């Protein structure tokens, strides 16, 4: 056993010595492996980070939340014309809120505009402010919170007062430093609103953020951003997680009656849990993950072929060295281990470099799309194992060929 360990360490030293002796060739081989691993780890790291951002952004809505929204146009199989579903009107949304007796919080919301500009004195935002109309339960059903100020009052909601809850980034832009925005009058899309609250920072994910939102009473949107066929969304948050499915069934049945859906017909609206939306997005990304993995493995296969070719060249160049070692008593197994060790070491160095570059590239993409920085330990460990396997696969044939060389012919090799 001791002799085996001694031979192994000797082969490792010879392999490292050979790598130093042929540094340029070894570095080129390392770069081939590194680029293959970087492509694989980088893409998978970015995808993992995006998945985490999606999960975190939908998780803040609460596991016990679901929404009722307009169903998209559908094309029925065998039918030439698409089936168009009616929008959810204000009257339908209000009737549902009044008639839904399940123990849950219900809020109504409607999109005002997504390209407004907010101003306060000399401060002005970019024209990318999203105006949302909602009610007293907006904070509960969306998982948002106030850092200062208060929620809408019943009178403000009833009469559509020009009051606003500013998103975190909007408040920071209009009121830099330590100035308190509560009570100030701001202009949003040429309408004046009094600030009654500032929303807590919610962060960005997947390129989107709620910190640029301005929330106003739903009646104020109907007055100031009125347009034909406004489409409303109903958000429901049950008081207990265990009652979520019962709440969905109750809400579906109640809204079918309000919409006049006939028995046997499909729903003319969509009911979606917040985690279902996230899961649907993640499932779509999973297909991208599979494609990226295949592309990365193809790249790595090319790197393995390049490594095998370089190792074969190395065997040819060192034929005389092999003959001398055999003449001094080295067995076929020892020669095979030497060249196999060299291939594995080169692969591991390339793997470490590739993993480091892959993590940086993957997280760089994540930062661009607003996803969090992650350290993908699973892909790091998997990359090292994969490099070890590539080293064995790419190095075994050259190592076996070196072991089979005839010592007499090798010593005569010029």
Among the listed residues 134, 191, 190, the one whose alpha carbon sits nearest the alpha carbon of residue 165: 134
For the chain, the average pLDDT equals 82
Mean pLDDT, residues 297-320 taken together: 78
Q: How far apart are CA 250 and CA 140, in angstroms?
A: 20
96: confidence class by pLDDT, cuts 50, 70, 90 = very high
pLDDT of residue 284: 63
Query: How does pLDDT run across 143-155, given as a tens digit for each residue?
Result: 888 999 999 999 9
Mean pLDDT, residues 309-335 taken together: 77
Mean pLDDT, residues 151-172 taken together: 94
Mean pLDDT, residues 261-288 taken together: 73
Distance of CA 78 to the CA centre of its chain: 37
Distances in Å between the alpha carbon of 55 and those of 17, 49, 63, 64? 49, 10, 11, 15
SS3 of the chain: helix, strand, coil, percent, to 5:
55, 20, 25
Choice among 4-13, 75-84, 223-232, 368-377 with the minimum mean pLDDT: 75-84
pLDDT of residue 63: 57
Mean pLDDT, residues 219-243 taken together: 88
75: confidence class by pLDDT, cuts 50, 70, 90 = very low
Coil, helix or strand for 386?
Answer: helix
Does residue 122 have a pLDDT over 50? yes
Distance of CA 156 to the CA centre of its chain: 39
Q: For the full predicted model, state whether its pTM sits above 0.75.
A: no
Coil, helix or strand for 236?
Answer: strand
pLDDT of residue 359: 87
Selection from 55-59, 269-273, 287-291, 307-311 with the highest mean pLDDT: 269-273
Q: How far apart are CA 111 and CA 126, in angstroms?
A: 18
Choice among 277-281, 355-359, 364-368 with the minimum mean pLDDT: 277-281
């Amino acid at each position: 056993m001791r002799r085996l360990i001694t031979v192994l360490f000797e082969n490792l030293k010879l392999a490292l010595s050979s790598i130093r002796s042929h540094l340029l060739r070894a570095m080129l081989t390392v770069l081939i492996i590194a680029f293959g691993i970087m492509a694989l780890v980088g893409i998978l790291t970015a995808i993992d980070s995006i998945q985490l951002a999606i999960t975190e952004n939908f998780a803040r809505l609460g596991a016990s939340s679901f929404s009722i929204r307009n169903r998209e146009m559908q094309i029925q199989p065998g039918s030439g014309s698409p089936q168009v579903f009616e929008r959810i009107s204000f009257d339908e949304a209000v009737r549902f809120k009044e008639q839904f007796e399940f123990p849950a919080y219900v809020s109504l919301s409607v999109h005002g505009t997504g390209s407004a500009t907010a101003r306060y004195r000399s401060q002005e935002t970019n024209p990318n402010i999203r105006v949302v109309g909602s009610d007293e339960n907006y904070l509960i059903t969306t998982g948002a919170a106030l850092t200062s100020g208060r929620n809408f009052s019943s009178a403000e909601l009833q009469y559509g007062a020009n009051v606003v809850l500013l998103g975190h980034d909007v408040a920071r832009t209009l009121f830099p430093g330590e100035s308190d925005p509560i009570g100030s009058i701001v202009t949003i899309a040429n309408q004046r609103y009094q600030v009654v609250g500032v929303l807590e920072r919610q962060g960005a994910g997947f390129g989107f953020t709620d910190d640029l939102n301005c929330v106003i009473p739903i009646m104020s949107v109907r007055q100031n951003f009125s347009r034909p066929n406004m489409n409303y969304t109903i958000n429901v948050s049950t008081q207990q997680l265990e009652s979520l499915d019962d709440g969905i069934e109750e809400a579906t049945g109640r809204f079918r009656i309000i919409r006049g859906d006939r028995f046997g017909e499909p729903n003319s609206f969509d009911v979606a849990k917040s985690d279902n939306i996230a899961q649907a997005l993640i499932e779509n990304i999973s297909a991208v993950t599979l494609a990226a993995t295949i592309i990365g493995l193809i790249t790595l296969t090319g790197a393995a072929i390049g490594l095998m070719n370089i190792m074969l060249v190395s065997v040819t160049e060192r034929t005389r060295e092999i003959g001398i070692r055999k003449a001094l008593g080295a067995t076929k197994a020892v020669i095979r281990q030497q060249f196999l060790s060299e291939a594995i070491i080169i692969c591991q160095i390339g793997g470490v470099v590739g993993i480091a570059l892959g993590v940086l590239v993957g997280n760089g993409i994540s930062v661009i799309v607003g996803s969090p920085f992650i350290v993908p330990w699973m892909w790091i460990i998997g990359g090292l194992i994969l490099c070890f396997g590539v080293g064995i696969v790419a190095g075994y044939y050259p190592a076996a060929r070196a072991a089979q060389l005839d010592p007499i012919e090798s010593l005569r090799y010029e």
